[in-house]
Structure 1
Amino acid sequence: MLQSSSGPRPIRQTAGAVGAVALIALGAAPAVADGGSAAVRLGAVAPMDGVKPGSSVDVPVTFTNTGTAAADKVWLSYTVTRGLSHTELPSNCLRYEVPAYDEEPSRSEAVCEFDQTVKPGTVYAPEKALTLKVLDHALYDRLRVVVETTEPGLDDNASEPVRGTAPAVELVERPDATPAGPSGDHPDWDDANVKVTADNTADFKVTGDRLKGGVGDTVGLKVKFTNAGPGWVLRDGTVSVTKVRIKMPAGTTVTKGHGYCDKVTPGTYECGTSESWENEGGSETYTFKLRIDKAVPGTKGSVALAGEPRPFDGNTADDTAAITLAVAGGGGSTGGSGSTTGGSGSTGGSGGSSTSTPSAGAGSGDGSSGGDSTGGTSNSPSAEGDLASTGSGSTLPLAGAAAAAVAAGAGAVLVARRRRAARP
């Protein structure tokens, strides 16, 4: 059986909590009686829609031994994402936590052992359904149920398991239930992945920036996407939580882009999120370097949410923000939420790049990813934009000369000046 925190830890290799993955226990053998072989198949587990934050929900699970022999023992595992939690567990169950890693969100798993004979051709269910708590930040969550005849191990990154304190539960026969169909390619285990959708909201918002400098200066731009909650948002697969479209102020050139933002048109970039989820209160920050090529009166750029639909977000007032630019000696810029096509009239070609390492933690807000498909692995770090041909933007000649007359037949002297652009 699985060991609690006082004993040694067996190892489970998994590819993720919510995907269909095989569970491998080291040195374990199926708990099958002599003669023939047992096989297990889960009954259907329906999606859970509209559950209320703060409430509790039961997880009705049935399974059938579709093999030709009895199994001496079976295990049921229940894995949930962070918007759900296990309530008090029976004493024949262990619970452990797995932090976010390898592009999977954090999760909690309960493994229940049933040390009793499971007859072939018979449908079984726990005598008391396992109960889950719906947390205040629940929105799009996942439940994975696994039944198996081989003892499961623990994920490499799991915490020490803790045994339940409620009375142990047993399996009971369900003669009224329809037996499940034949087992598939892995008769010793079967799983079901269930979507759990809460009746909750999440407010996505963006913030812009105010820039100022002189012609020839290189200035830093920092814009931000935030999930103001209350719900966290988990997308399917490697889909970015959202996309952020950034239009640069006219008269500027991007000399250094953000590592997880792609240029979609000159002066316009689209950025994604570092993972396929964003915790409540989590954020992504996108930074750029802009060279001011010329003064364009009233110039401004914009930041706007794009990408996947957001039916959970009813507040659209904070979906856009302005990027303002005041050019010294060239007229100021004005605020507002409108946008202009950035980058027009700017000079420079392509070249130069920057890279960034995405955050591995859930909703840490210290990384970002993006592009045409995002969510950690779907976009390689690249920064291709309106980069100056030198790639640095550190020196810009000022064409201007003054001729001065000097005494006693002296000629004209050409005086040239260079000004070095200050880096912010």
Structure 2
Amino acid sequence: MSEIRAPRAAGSPAVDDLLRTLAPQVVGLLTRRHGDFAAAEDAVQEALLAAATQWPADGLPANPRGWLVQVASRRLVEQVRSEQARRRREELVAAQLPADRRTAPAADAGAAEQDDTLALFFLCCHPVLSPASAIALTLRSVGGLTTGEIARAFLVPEATMGQRISRAKQRIKTSGVPFRMPAAAEWPARLDAVLHVLYLIFNEGYAGSAGPELRRVELSREAIRLTRAVHALLPADPEVAGLLALMLLTEARGPARTEPDGELVPLAEQDRSRWDAAAIAEGIALITAALPRGPVGPYQVQAAIAAVHDEAPTAAETDWPQILALYGVLARISDNPLITLNRAVATGMVEGPAAGLALLAELPPALAGNHRLHAVRAHLHELAGDLPAAVAEYRAAAQRTASLPERHHLTLRAARLAARS
């Protein structure tokens, strides 16, 4: 089964971003209309390929979403007609498509008014799937991430992740799960997976794990949009509010993360006047209201940490003891290696770099090849004044990251330190 991923049209990043946003909406609409998630994915992939070829040359259609719906619908009908063993489904699909929709492309006015992305989210996060499989499938089908990107987020081999996604799609297909928004009573069984997927999509958008771009703004914006939709449905849920706050407080720093030439700028060196003050104010208001409601979950704690960073007028005035205390709370709630990496940085800032390095020594061997581990070690060695060790770790981190901007930044950092040592 092919991946739903908007093809990049050379010289047309705007088209690529638009296709990425529209793809899950069209998959959701066709799944609702025809009842076959896997077939809808295949049909939409063909429509995306057609759009990536035609739109940059001919210009955007008046209704891009309606255009994709029309082309994908025709592809779906063609797929059904080619399978004689599925004649009954062919008749059903043909009956559902009016004649004018089977001819020249035109705007699908009714379809364009309804966004099925959130319903598609909940289909992929159905309890028939294990949490890990649900998250992987949703990242692929809704988030538009490749199998390799998802594998890196979960720290597993790409082949393993590919098998997991294929099994999840087959499980959805054979289970007969209806495509609809779940009733309120069904939310608790799916909410954790939905929030985790939104979190991972945002992270991939804010700091792309691979490729030439540091940020994939269309992903982070879509994650924020969908999280707002979930928050509108569950305004009293403190973890939903915490996740939205975390995204806003983090995305607010986005404009300052790069120099005009694209060079990555670390948090401590950013021009804070370029941060989005409105997003920071909204995020702080959300987390301030959410924390007293309880129970406190990991997204709320991470949002509180982000708020401490964003409220500091300068890097030197950052309240690192408070951040370290919050990481201690986070480790008790939801400890994992990436949290330990961040806690080691905070420990180094409060208790000294030796204490931070000692905390890193507790990490499992499986993380040894992760570039973030080497980058944190480099930072702590640099704080300690051990420049040769810092240079070696920065170079090791650069060799292991698939993000070209990060690789360039780490290599440059190593070169600058080597010149001083």
TM range (shorter): under 0.3
User: Hey, which of these two has a bigger chunk of strand by percent?
Assistant: 1
* Larger CA Rg, structure 1 vs 2: 1
User: Hey, which of these two has a bigger chunk of helix by percent?
Assistant: 2
Scaled by the length of structure 2, what TM-score is found? 0.25
Scaled by the length of structure 1, what TM-score is found? 0.25
Which structure has more RCO (C-alpha within 8 Å, separation ≥ 6)?
1
